[in-house]
Amino acid sequence: MMRLTQTILLLFLSLFLSACQPTQSATPINRVDAKDYSAFWIWGDISSAPYLSKAQELYILQGEITVDATNKKSILIPQGISVLIQPKKKIWLVFRTHHLNWTTENVQLILKRIAHWENAGNHIQGLQIDFDSKTKNLKDYALFLQKIRTQLPQKYQLSITGLLDWTNVKDTQTLDILAKNIDELVIQSYQGNHTVSNYLDYLKRVTALKLPYKVGLVQHGLISKHHFFETDVNFKGYVVFLLRSKARS
């Protein structure tokens, strides 16, 4: 009986010690603390004052382009906060779109909104378009962006948000069109309020795109301590999506 008890104790001790050993595949992670960053998405009326004082870049939602259910026409619905006066910061105005059939009026309203912010004394870096294109349709999106680039005054840059799955794109023609027309791609490492668990697997492939890019993080989300992509010449920094509440990944 004593021998059996000793065997059980040794087995338990072995399992305990094994559990305490760090695995080689484990990736140390941190929580995203907004105070450690200087570029933010402001997607609505949130308590962002603590971060505005040190922010260098702000990506501010200003509208949504969708199709009117009644007349089936493309319309721009104003969204987000009213004009801020932040002359020392780089301001990107963000417009989310649900389709690619923009009208001349849509573009004119966007340019008018940019002018409002600029006339208030802000430094407008450019326009950011937020569109969740399916990876298989990315060439159509690239051609749309090519058209928008011709309608956007040259003094403004063109930024787009991107999905992690886009790192799988290998079509050189699509990538060439993007390279010639966008100034940055901000890849979102999260969905909703939660970090995608295997986002690093996707980011290992982002260098092959040969596009200037930033990595989008969600406040309170997860981020690896091993930033292997920071040595990539095309990596331009991080943008943190600020939350209205302390949602956790």
Torsion sign, CA atoms 24, 217, 153, 176: positive
Determine the pLDDT at residue 248: 52
24 found inside a domain: no
The dihedral through the CA atoms of 163, 169, 173, 179 has a sign that is positive
Q: What is the CATH number of the domain that holds 225?
A: 3.20.20.80
Q: What per-residue confidence (pLDDT) applies to 133?
A: 97
- Render each residue's pLDDT in the chain as its tens digit; 249 residues: 545 444 444 444 443 333 333 333 345 678 999 999 999 999 887 655 677 778 999 999 999 999 998 999 999 999 999 999 999 999 999 999 999 999 999 999 999 999 999 999 999 999 999 999 999 999 999 999 999 999 999 999 999 999 999 999 999 999 999 999 999 999 999 999 999 999 999 999 999 999 999 999 999 999 887 678 888 999 999 999 998 765 454
- The reply to whether 15 falls in a domain is no
Residue 4 falls within a domain, yes or no? Answer: no
Query: Which pLDDT value is given to residue 187?
Result: 97
> Would you give the distance in Å from CA 30 to the centre of its chain?
18
Q: How far apart are CA 192 and CA 237, in angstroms?
A: 21
- Report the length, in residues, of the chain: 249
Task: For residue range 134-164, list pLDDT tens digits in order.
Answer: 999 999 999 999 999 999 999 999 999 999 9
pTM of the full predicted structure?
A: 0.86
- Cα angle 182, 184, 187 (rounded to 5 degrees) comes to 120
Q: Is residue 13 part of a domain?
A: no
* Residue 181 in domain: yes
Q: What pLDDT shows up at residue 21?
A: 36
Q: Name residue 111's beta-bridge partners.
A: none
| Total number of domains constituting the chain | 1
- The 8-class DSSP code of residue 131 comes to -
Strand partners, 123: 90
> Which residue from 23, 26, 36, 43 is spatially nearest to 190, judged by alpha carbons?
43
Note the Cα 217 to chain centre separation in Å. Answer: 6
Is 246 within the bounds of a domain?
Answer: no
Give the structural domain span for 85.
31-241
Does 9 map to a domain? no
CB 59 within 8 A of CB 66: no
Predicted pLDDT at 163 = 97
Using CA atoms, how far apart are residues 125 and 128, in angstroms rounded to an integer? 10
Taking a C-beta distance cutoff of 8 angstroms, is the pair 90, 57 a contact?
yes
Q: Is position 58 within any domain?
A: yes
Q: Under 8 Å CB-to-CB from 61, ≥6 apart: which residues?
A: 41, 42, 43, 44, 79, 80, 81, 94, 95, 96
